[in-house]
Structure 1
Amino acid sequence: MTFREDVADLAKRAISAQAVAQTEEATKNAIVMPFLRVLGFDVFDPAQIIPEYVADVGLKKGEKIDYAAKIGDRIEYLVEAKSVSTNLRDAQYSQLFRYFHTSDANIGILTNGLHIWFFTDLDAPNKMDQTPFFKFNLLDYDDNDLHELEKFHKDKFSIENIKAAASTLKYLRGAMSFIEAQWTSPDEEFVRMVARGIYEGKLTTTVVDTFKPIVRRAFDDLFRQRAKARLDVAFDGDAESALEAVDEDKIDTTPDELQGFMIVRAIAAEVAPVSRVVMRDAQSYCAVLFDDNNRKPIIRLHFSGKQKFITTFEAGKEGVRHDLAGIEEIFAHKERVTTVVRSYLA
């Protein structure tokens, strides 16, 4: 199997494990050890993977880290695992932080099986950064994420390449956060920078306050124009009607989600009035519902800048994931869409 196929298989395993692997040990067995296998390690070879790795830290004796991964004769990764139900934002990983400082490891990995966070020492040598430089979500990834993850494969490992990429990812993440913050609520310095390029008068406090809503509107309009341009290609110039079909307040709705919604509508139109097929956006996915009823899901679109996939439904049954190479592959699931719509008409 290729690396892509290995990761896709691991993602399917993770989806199944969510409901049952609630303890830390269960998570290790169901997802974390298979993840290390995906990275090219023989998890049963102590020359490669050392479980319950002990490294005394100062006065603390006998503390253990879940796994130490060796490449050649050197420990390169320290892995701390949490249960699948743990939110990594709230997780305590002081052992990983302490062990990183006292060992020769270059990479610290914190995971709950679904989310995998990678740390290194960009800010200070031999001191693990507080913030991960790379996050991989097994349920939501794209080709760029796969490319970055593959750098951690045992056979491709190069700490020089990883640290170079880590530095780029760190600043890219910072730039995206800054732009997003300015889009939501531009600060005075940013507004002044924009205003200086288009306003010839003196930038008084009153003028800056006047420009703040203009800058916010400019972000929104620019996004809308770019979305319309992409949709014009997809819908033969009729993008405006597609945009109007979505509540203006749902600014997180992407052009890909709109395109996916229109494809589902087109399929469903064969068996039901399109007015009964409604989009309802959410933070992690975009739902397409029958009669705008959460109990009547037709499909879910997972297109949030990561691996594109859909979840299809049968009436009264749990959803099934299908990975997509392109949005147009939704048409391959025409029978599933029409079948569930017919069930809601019955």
Structure 2
Amino acid sequence: MDFSERVKDLAGRSKHATKHALTEEATKTSVVLPLIQTLGFDVFNLNEVVPEFVADVGLKKGEKVDFALKIDGKLAALVEVKPITMSLGSAQFSQLYRYFATTEARLAILTNGREIWFFSDVDEPNKMDKKPFFTFDLQVADDAKIADLARFQKHNFSIETILATASNLKYANAAGAYLKKQLTNPDEDFVKMVARNIYDGMLTKTVVEQLRPAIQASLDEVIRDRIQAKLNVTFRAEPVATEEQIAKPNDTEPEIVTTEDELQAFLIVRAIAARWIDLERITLRDSKTYCSVFADNNNRKPICKLYFNAKTARHVGLFDAEKVEERVQIGSLSDIYKYAARIEDAVKTYL
């Protein structure tokens, strides 16, 4: 199996462990050791994988981190494991934090057998950052994330590259979080920054509050315009002409036009499906009688169909695990959310 297939095999192990691994040791055996092996380390070789790694820290003696990973005899990474029943957001990883400062390792990994958090010392040398620079969810992994995880394989391992990536990801994630916040509820500093470029008078508190709704509406419009432009270029596939149509063109044939309602419905489906797969994998293809939403622009990977061309009613085609379609009628676009679970189930078959 190639790396992607091995990671997908780990996803199955992780899902099984979610129901059956009740302890940290069970998590180690069922998921974490296979994970370390997938990254190219020999789990049976103490020159590569050292379990219960001891590194005394000041007055703290005999404390152990679950695994130390070595490459050519040098310490490359520390791995601390929590039970799969524990959320990493609530996990205490003080040992990992202390060990990082006293060993030569520049990479620290915290995992519960589902989530994998990667830490380094981007903020301050030899001091582990409080936040991970990269996170990976074994049970919700797309190709792009798997490609990022591949950087940590033993044969690819380059601490310089990892640290450069860590720095880039850290600031990119921070910038993304800030912009998302502004899109939802722009703060006063952001509103003032925009207002200085569009308003000539004094920016009093009253003026700022008056401009806030207009600035937020403009942000929404910019996002919609960018999505619409991308949809026009990427997601509208021209119908393939048959040999008969080429031989006998019909100039009276109506042009296929993707309506605003179809685009809005596609965006709703995309928002539902994006919980499981990357946005770029969710594609739209229009035809005379319906719009199809596929994974990977592949008609063998249907997510749903939008039947919006009838004058009296609109329907959505939903697919089960055998790709058998069922049409359901909707009264408004928001009704699509009622079928979110079924859309997600269709998407999960393409993970």
TM range (shorter): 0.7 to 0.9
Partner of 1:112: 112
Q: Is residue 298 from structure 1 mapped to residue 298 from structure 2 by the alignment?
A: no
What's the secondary structure of 1:75's corresponding residue?
strand
What's the secondary structure of 1:79's corresponding residue?
strand
Q: So what's the TM-score if we normalise by structure 2?
A: 0.75
Partner of 1:328: none
Partner of 2:9: 9
What's the secondary structure of 1:109's corresponding residue?
strand
Partner of 1:322: 350
Please show how residues 273-284 of structure 1 align to structure 2 within 5 Å: 273-275=327-329
CA 37–278 in structure 1, closer or farther in 2 if over 3 Å, else same? farther
Q: Distance in 2 between matches of 1:258 and 1:280?
A: 20
Partner of 1:242: 262
Q: Distance in 2 between matches of 1:205 and 1:293?
A: 44
What's the secondary structure of 1:18's corresponding residue?
helix
What's the secondary structure of 1:135's corresponding residue?
strand
How many residue pairs are counted as aligned between the two chains?
A: 296
- Residue 304 of structure 2 contacts residue 318 of structure 2 at CA under 8 Å; is this kept in 1? yes
> Cα deviation per residue 1:105-160 (whole Å; 9 max; x = unaligned)?
11110001111011111122211111111111112233432232212111111111
Structure 2 gaps of 5+ residues are: 237-255, 285-292, 295-301, 307-316
> Cα deviation per residue 1:25-64 (whole Å; 9 max; x = unaligned)?
1111111111101110011111110111111111111111
- Residue 231 of structure 1 contacts residue 238 of structure 1 at CA under 8 Å; is this kept in 2? no
Letter in 2 for 1:62: G
Q: Distance in 2 between matches of 1:65 and 1:226?
A: 47
CA-CA distance at 1:238 after TM superposition: 2.1
Q: So what's the TM-score if we normalise by structure 1?
A: 0.76
Q: Distance in 1 between matches of 2:29 and 2:173?
A: 32
Letter in 2 for 1:65: V
Q: Distance in 2 between matches of 1:226 and 1:73?
A: 51
Q: Which has the larger radius of gyration?
A: 2
Partner of 1:305: none
Q: Distance in 1 between matches of 2:48 and 2:231?
A: 50
Structure 1 gaps of 5+ residues are: 282-287, 302-308, 312-320, 324-346
Q: Distance in 2 between matches of 1:83 and 1:279?
A: 41
Larger mean CA deviation between 53-62 and 194-203 belongs to 194-203
CA RMSD between the two structures: 3.1
Partner of 1:70: 70
What's the secondary structure of 1:177's corresponding residue?
helix
Identity of aligned residues (%): 43
Letter in 1 for 2:261: S
> Cα deviation per residue 1:42-92 (whole Å; 9 max; x = unaligned)?
111111101111111111111111000011111111000011121111100
Q: Distance in 2 between matches of 1:293 and 1:215?
A: 33
Q: Is residue 177 from structure 1 mapped to residue 197 from structure 2 by the alignment?
A: no
CA 212–31 in structure 1, closer or farther in 2 if over 3 Å, else same? same
Q: Is residue 45 from structure 1 mapped to residue 45 from structure 2 by the alignment?
A: yes
Larger mean CA deviation between 138-147 and 2-11 belongs to 138-147
What's the secondary structure of 2:350's corresponding residue?
strand
CA 134–244 in structure 1, closer or farther in 2 if over 3 Å, else same? closer
- Residue 268 of structure 1 contacts residue 277 of structure 1 at CA under 8 Å; is this kept in 2? no
CA 271–98 in structure 1, closer or farther in 2 if over 3 Å, else same? closer
CA 156–189 in structure 1, closer or farther in 2 if over 3 Å, else same? same
Letter in 1 for 2:91: A
Q: Distance in 2 between matches of 1:21 and 1:162?
A: 31
What's the secondary structure of 2:46's corresponding residue?
coil
What's the secondary structure of 2:198's corresponding residue?
coil
Match of 1:264 among 300, 304, 307: 304
